[in-house]
Structure 1
Amino acid sequence: MKANVEYKFHHLGIPVQDGDTSGKYSASAGMYTTDNSGTFRAQWHRFTEDSPLHPLLKTVPHVAFKVSSLAEAIAGETVILGPYEPIDDYRVAVIDDGGVPIELIETTLSDEDLWARAASGQGSLYRK
């Protein structure tokens, strides 16, 4: 963590290999995502065999943090995805932190707006 960047927990992403194809599908990521209904946000990710995502994202759980500056948070880090905008007004990059993928998010959206946009397909990742 960098001293000049604010970090706030956002969600936990868990890759699973159960073959379930329910949930939101992203053709560009080759990934199905299912959200939990609990208070603490968790997502289960299932990947197609031809998913182009980095192997760490497909095999190791990741923690996601909202950050005050995405550019500052990823400076000098090993970036394995992004930066890109999977949902409108929501910029993301994933870094490799010693073998653990860490998702870093910069957005002005409230958590409620963000999760609603993801669920409704407002964004390039889960466009309906």
Structure 2
Amino acid sequence: MKKDVTLKFHHVGHPVPLAQIKDNPETKYSELYDMYSLDEQNDFSLPIELHAFGPKSSLDPLIQSQPHVAFTTNNIKKALEGEHVLMPLYEPFKGYQCAMILVNEQPIEIIETTLSESEIWGDGIFKDSILYPHGDERRSH
């Protein structure tokens, strides 16, 4: 465990075939990564996000093919020190920074945020973000 770095479970990300989520009206599209995302509801209230990728996705093949677990941290820069980075640190929308690393051959997302869970999983936060620059890009592709 890294000194002065805390980790708290946030969500599970799961790659799926594009046909599984592309036509769902709740699916969001990110041109930045040619990535489709759908927050899937379940009886356990566990945050599970399904991801599908188009042919132009620049994300690491492990991110596109392997499930990941995401954790929030109190110090993302310190958490990333000395780690094998799969997706460099960036801020997809204001108040939310993330990166992906490889730990024991498992993709792990690390997040540092000042946002509440309702802001993260809600609709409004995506407007004019780097990830969704044209607003809430649902089913636009």
Q: Compute the TM-score of the two structures, normalised by the length of structure 2.
A: 0.83
Higher alpha-carbon Rg:
2
The answer for the alignment partner of 1:25 in structure 2 is 29
Q: Which runs of 5+ in 1 are unaligned?
A: none
Indicate if the aligned counterparts of 1:5 and 1:69 stay in contact, CA closer than 8 A.
yes
Q: Specify the SS of the correspondent of 2:130.
A: coil
The answer for the alignment partner of 2:82 in structure 1 is 76
Indicate if the aligned counterparts of 2:33 and 2:56 stay in contact, CA closer than 8 A.
no
User: Which residue identity lines up with residue 9 of structure 2 in the other structure?
Assistant: F
Q: Specify the SS of the correspondent of 1:44.
A: strand
User: Which residue identity lines up with residue 108 of structure 2 in the other structure?
Assistant: I
The answer for the alignment partner of 1:51 in structure 2 is 57
Q: Which runs of 5+ in 2 are unaligned?
A: 136-141
Indicate if the aligned counterparts of 1:56 and 1:99 stay in contact, CA closer than 8 A.
no
* Number of residue-to-residue matches in the alignment: 126
Q: 1:3 deviation in Å?
A: 3.8
Runs of 4+ in 1 over 6 A off after TM superposition: none
Percent of aligned positions that are identical:
39
The answer for the alignment partner of 1:10 in structure 2 is 10
Measured on the aligned residues, the alpha-carbon RMSD in Å equals: 1.3
Structure 2 CA distance for aligned equivalents of residues 56 and 31 of structure 1 = 14
